[in-house]
Structure 1
């Protein structure tokens, strides 16, 4: 099983500690190994293929934001603790901006999350944000400014969940959106917008 980049620091300690402890205190060793197994599952990073043409979901989870931001459309995906937390490029192109900002840690589904820690990016004709919530404390971008990224490629990871937003390219309107609020989507696979 592939793990998210940077997640070994969470998985390895209970795994490496659990094996010798198993010989001394079996219940404690089993608990540590179970914790390592849970963390490996939590930080899983499965392969994904796009389900067709159009803008891809940047995250696994449920569509929680669907609104017009000025003359563009914003789609946000809320990640629960049970979702994969690796984020993917909704479109392909060059990363022209990547900014780490904010310091608050409010619930990602609340209006106050606008001040939360986030990594904002511009990729091709789309803009996006990886937003930390009240429990998430680490956003790890995998891409840098000037880098070319393929549609569906891994672009970052939010440890312990939260939300990923994408502001659709200017040519997409609300009529081009292919998802509804509350709908379950998968990063790098589900089509959230397509122009017919």
Structure 2
């Protein structure tokens, strides 16, 4: 299954690849050159299909857990001063997505969207420390039953040029549902309360709507 955000690119690429394969067949006489062009064209199509894949992941919502919003690798776990919305310290967990990862963004928790804002910006590499505040990005805040307000931020990387965000203020959303898409390399920051327990480690690979990122701290802690 492929994400709807890739539909036009997939169709356009398919016809271009078909044209390239046929053109090579009719106009290139040297067999190995013809084969190389045709194989290269098919590899481009496969890469596009792979990038826009959208595997179905059924989730039973769990109010005690924050799930990974995307596939990728944990590159940051730290306390930060969050200046845009919370204006206080938050635990930040950042997940970097390479071009080979699934790039669907999924809601990390069930709740109500209380804030959703797009910011134009730069295209620093996604692991750059300033990418969270200077790159093209969206900030989304969810009010959840157990964690209170949590945030996540879609951040465009050096290759990404379009962030798709479906979250609308006032909307009720469900953990694991499709929340958007970031095209061609990117990062997502989670902004969590200080009193939650982080359940992942640096450099750990996570799976969107599968891996638990944080849980509610037990009352006796």
Instruction: Return the TM-score normalized by structure 2.
Output: 0.79
**Equivalent position to 1:56, from 67, 89, 94:** 67
Distance in 2 between the 1:23 and 1:58 partners? Answer: 41
Q: Looking at CA atoms only, which structure, 1 or 2, has the larger radius of gyration?
A: 2
Provide the C-alpha distance between the structure 2 equivalents of 1:30 and 1:145, rounded to a whole number of angstroms.
46
Question: Could you tell me which residue of structure 1 aligns to residue 195 of structure 2?
Answer: 173
Structure 2 equivalent of residue 134 of structure 1: 158
Matching residue within 112, 121, 125 for 1:94? 112
Quickly say closer, same or farther: Cα 1:51–1:178, change in 2 above 3 A.
farther
Name stretches of at least 5 consecutive residues in structure 1 with no aligned partner.
none
* Shift, 1:173, TM fit: 2.4
Q: Distance in 1 between matches of 2:103 and 2:111?
A: 22
Distance 1:101 1:52 in 2: 30
TM-score between the two structures when normalised by the length of structure 1? 0.88
- Are the counterparts in 1 of residues 113 and 173 from structure 2 also a CA contact under 8 Å? yes
How big is the shift at 1:71?
4.0
Match of 2:146 in 1: none
Q: Does 1:43 align with 2:17?
A: no
Q: Which runs of 5+ in 2 are unaligned?
A: 26-33, 81-87, 144-148
1:184 pairs with 2:202: no
In structure 2, relative to structure 1, the CA distance for the partners of 1:51 and 1:165 (3 Å cut) is farther
Give 1:9 shift: 2.2
How many residues get paired?
192
